[in-house]
Amino acid sequence: METSVTLLSAIKETFACGERDIAAYSPLALAYIGDDIYDTVIRTIVVERANRPANELHKETVKYVKAEAQSEIIVHLLKEKTILTEEEQEIYKRGRNAKSYTSAKNASIHDYRKATGFETLLGYLYLMGRQERVVELVKLAVDFIDSKE
């Protein structure tokens, strides 16, 4: 039987990353990695759905990853009371309320903060080793955006 090695565990082992208290990380540090994780999962989905020119892949990806879309996604997830746990809601709120000195070029500050909260949640789950939960939430996000078309 082959054991499953996650990307996270491979990175930690290869680069001798020590164990950390993920809950103590700043929300913006979690959002930083969460943004990349979300982008990577979405890009994987887009590429796996169809092999096409890079500019078409980019256009398809943007509809899921732009701040406005992420804001709509988290509002949808929060509206459905049974989707996010209390812990996940608290992590989201920490990210949403974090004081950031940057903002998205094409998004309102409200959308940007909600998107930051969503990315914070994904970063937290990823670093906690809960990749299945990340994929589950991204599936709900993709289904929500796709249903709007």
The kind and range of the H/E element at 138 are: helix 131-147
Those residues whose C-beta lies under 8 Å from the C-beta of residue 24, and which sit 6 or more positions away, are: none
- Residue 102 burial class via C-beta count within 10 angstroms: exposed 0-12, middle 13-18, buried 19 and up: exposed
* Contacts for 110 with CB less than 8 Å, ≥ 6 apart: 71
Query: Which uninterrupted H or E stretch holds 3?
Result: none
Radius of gyration of the chain (CA): 16
Residues labelled as active-site residues: 35
Contact 95, 122 (CB under 8 A): no
- Measured over the CA atoms of residue 28, residue 31, residue 32 and residue 33, the dihedral's sign is positive
